[in-house]
Amino acid sequence: MGKGSADRLNQLYSEMFVLLEEEKKIRKETENILVKANTAIDPRKEFNKWLKSAKGIVWKQKQFEYQESKCAYCSESLRFADAVVHHVLPLKDFGSAANKPENFKLLHPGCNLSIGTRIVDF
Ligand SMILES: [Zn+2]
């Protein structure tokens, strides 16, 4: 291999090295952006925010009346202050799509825990 070829090869290697460093940097930046995006659309956070909003509060009151102060799971009487919102289709598997009032039921905290992420037919 002539000197010209060796120089050319060295040059290509340094260019490749620069590109690999840039790729590493872009990869890191992309990861950071994805972390931020996932936090912004975290369905659990989205739900908690909704529940505290005026819409969420009104929904809970109406739903409590609709369920006639009873737990949707065990049908025993339920106190408004104890009522927790259960996702029929679990957040874990359905993400933001599960954050719809038609997917919510009011339950005793214990009933909610015992169901966990099983899908129950109410
Ligand atoms: Zn119950």
Rounded Cα distance between 4 and 97, Å, is: 61
Distance (angstroms) between ligand 1 centre and the Cα of 68 equals 13
- Write out the DSSP string of 24-71: HHHHHHHHHHHHHHHHHT-HHHHHHHHHHSHHHHHHHHHHHHHTTTB-
Conformational region of residue 102, where left means phi above 0, alpha means psi within -120 to 50, and beta covers everything else: alpha
Per domain, the residue ranges of the chain are 1-40, 43-115
pLDDT in tens, 33-71: 888 777 667 899 999 999 999 999 999 999 999 999 999
CB within 5 A of ion ligand 1: which residues?
71, 73-74, 108, 111
Distance (angstroms) between ligand 1 centre and the Cα of 15 equals 66
pLDDT in tens, 84-114: 999 999 998 998 899 999 999 999 999 999 9
Distance (angstroms) between ligand 1 centre and the Cα of 82 equals 10
Confidence (pTM) = 0.68
Distance (angstroms) between ligand 1 centre and the Cα of 104 equals 14
Structure-token pair, residue 111: 């009933």
Strand partners, 107: 84
Class of domain 43-115: alpha beta
Nearest residue to 73 via CA among 37, 38, 113: 113
